[in-house]
Chain A
Amino acid sequence: MSAVTTWSARRAWVVRATGLAGVVGMAFTVWLGLWITPPDKVQGNLVRLVYLHPPVAWVALYLAFGLAVLGSLLWLWPRTRNDSWDRLAGAAMEVGVVFTALTLVTGSLWGRPTWGVWWAWDARLTSTALLLVLQLGYLALRRVASEPEPRARRCAIGAVIAAVDVPIVHFSVDWWRTLHQGATVLNANLSPTIHGAMAWTLLLGFVSMTLVFAWMVSVRYRIATLADVAADRSMQQALAERWAEGMPEAPVEEEGGVPAGVGP
């Protein structure tokens, strides 16, 4: 078990700066998205959702899930096994659930005016919904009261089992039904004819959403670290108490000591 350490002042500063940059970037994205960029010829003002939905989806579907799976694999691999990978996987998955839910909500908001319904059994929506349930399963597994090492093991294995399912889900759902108009909202709007400000706003959206995600994961990771520090301290205390159990006994010589019943 690795020694648990808290953050240095510098690291805390970097995390804070990341969070600040992310939030400011989001504010700029909103401003640019709502007031500066022009409405789309086909989609009108609806296009403004494009500055939000794809960045959220990118974080949810690739960054968060990928990071959680990577952390799980690194924990499982004996050479790289370290508690911090388990904490990273847990933090990324937890934040990822929020982003996956946001992906569904923003996708649904876009779907209502476009398709006329809040929910369509579109391939992307369906597989994202399944991903959300898979992630919720992971979190449920994580919440089970358990000893730290088996929990890390169970969660890591659970994440891997779910992860190999994701491409299969993706393809089978894709075949099952592809309703999504065009390829994606993203590709439709990134065509060369796109207005310059739109492309920059979208890029800013991606960057700031990624920063916000990094900040959230860092903070969640830190909380997990502190929880482990607290547990570690109570562990030291438990060890001292455990040793004290032996104290009231009459002192007995260590190893190879006095044979019973042999005396003067």
Chain B
Amino acid sequence: MDSAVLLRSAHATIGRFPALAGVDLELAPGELVVLEGPNGAGKTSVLRACAGLLPLTGGEGTVLGYDLRRDLVAVRPLVGYLGHAPALYDELTVSENVRFAVRAAGAASSAVPDVLARVGLSGRLARTPAGRLSAGQRRRAALASVLVRRPALWLLDEPHAAFDAEGRRLLSTVMCEARDGGSGVLVASHEPAEVLPLADRVVTMVGGRAQGSRRGGRRRVVPGGVHVA
């Protein structure tokens, strides 16, 4: 099967700074991979490169069958990117924000109420302007915008930040569902307790490169009884 993400010696610069200095990374559909590493290791840049927001300056990259060097723009509508800052218009209500996101992606907006209920933003909160929400609620609204688009690749940057305990459980469920539904999930996180139990693989990043990879906490039993990573 084609990889959801395939980076080979990927380089990318932000200004004159080599944010990615030769990353090798592979992610299969239906796989959940956690990126860990110190601040400034390049985790966010990997996610942004996969989302088509950071162009590669060297190496190769393929996301969902599209070449990142040639079809950068084609990748964008297919991925669900949850960055540090939620993509919300403060003046619009939560419901309007999510509706705009889903209609921009060309999908029907009929699923919006269900998704909002799922992330705990139904009723009064759905009619509240996004600018008046708390940080955690904004993250929930941003999550709803991604969820409703059913992306084939999830790119989550520190997704647990600002979430309460219930939000974290929700996030874990959503990530596992996406993975089990055949989507690739790439998570950058500093919170091993939350993500490691779910991970198929953990990739350590240092200095703009993937330094190593190890099996995550999740064990899958395949016929023959062999544990695979």
Q: How far is the CB of B214 from chain A (nearest CB, A)?
A: 4
Closest Cβ of chain B: how far from A35's Cβ, in Å? Answer: 54
Give the complex CA separation of A245 and B42 in angstroms: 11
**Is the C-beta of B3 less than 8 angstroms from some C-beta in chain A?**
no
- B24 on the A face (CB < 8 A): yes
Instruction: Output the residue of A234, A246, A254, A262 with the most chain B CB within 10 A.
Output: A246
- Kindly list chain A residues whose C-beta atoms are within 8 Å of the C-beta of B211: 246, 249, 252, 254
A245 engages B212 (CB within 8 Å): no
State the CA gap A234–B17 with chains docked (Å): 9
A contact residues around B40 at 8 Å (CB): 245
- CB-CB < 8 A to B213: which residues of A? 254-257
Question: How far apart sit A235 and B11, CA to CA, in the bound complex (Å)?
Answer: 12
CB-defined contacts of A256 to chain B, threshold 8 Å? 213, 229
Say if the beta carbon of B13 comes within 8 Å of chain A.
yes
Q: Report whether over half of chain A's contact residues are helix, strand or loop; otherwise say mixed.
A: loop
Q: Is the CB of A238 within 8 A of B16?
A: yes
Quick one: which of A231, A244, A255, A262 contacts B207, CB cutoff 8 A? A244
Interchain CB contact under 8 A, A259 and B215: yes
Q: How many residues of A contact B (CB 8 A)?
A: 26
CB distance from B161 to the nearest CB of A (A): 23
Q: With A255-B24, A255-B213, A257-B212 given, is the CB distance from A245 to B207 under 8 Å? A: yes
Q: Which residues of A contact B173 (CB under 8 A)?
A: none
Contacts of A3 in B (CB 8 A): none
**Chain A CB within 8 A of B160 CB:** no
A138-172 interface code vs B (CB 8 A; 1 in, 0 out): 00000000011100000000000000000000000
B223 at the interface (CB under 8 A from A): no
Docked CA distance A92–B213 (Å): 51
Residue from B15, B202, B207, B212 within 8 A of A242 (CB atoms): B207
Distance in angstroms between the alpha carbons of A257 and B212 in the assembled complex: 6
**CA of A258 to CA of B211, assembled, Å:** 12
> A149: which B residues are within 8 A, CB to CB?
55
A239 at the interface (CB under 8 A from B): yes
Q: Does A9 contact B (CB under 8 A)?
A: no
CA distance A260 to B196 in the complex (A): 11
CB distance from B38 to the nearest CB of A (A): 8
B185-212: which residues lie under 8 A (CB-CB) from chain A?
A: 202, 204, 206-212
A-B complex: 5 closest residue pairs judged by Cβ atoms:
A245-B207, A252-B212, A246-B206, A246-B207, A259-B215
Give A residues with C-beta under 8 Å from B. Answer: 1, 147-149, 231, 234-235, 238-239, 242-247, 249, 252-260, 262
Cross-chain pairs A/B with CB under 8 angstroms, 14 sampled = A234-B16, A239-B21, A242-B208, A244-B207, A245-B40, A246-B209, A247-B207, A252-B204, A254-B213, A255-B212, A256-B213, A257-B212, A258-B214, A259-B229
Chain B interface (Cβ < 8 Å from any Cβ of A): 13-18, 21-22, 24, 40-41, 55, 57, 202, 204, 206-215, 229
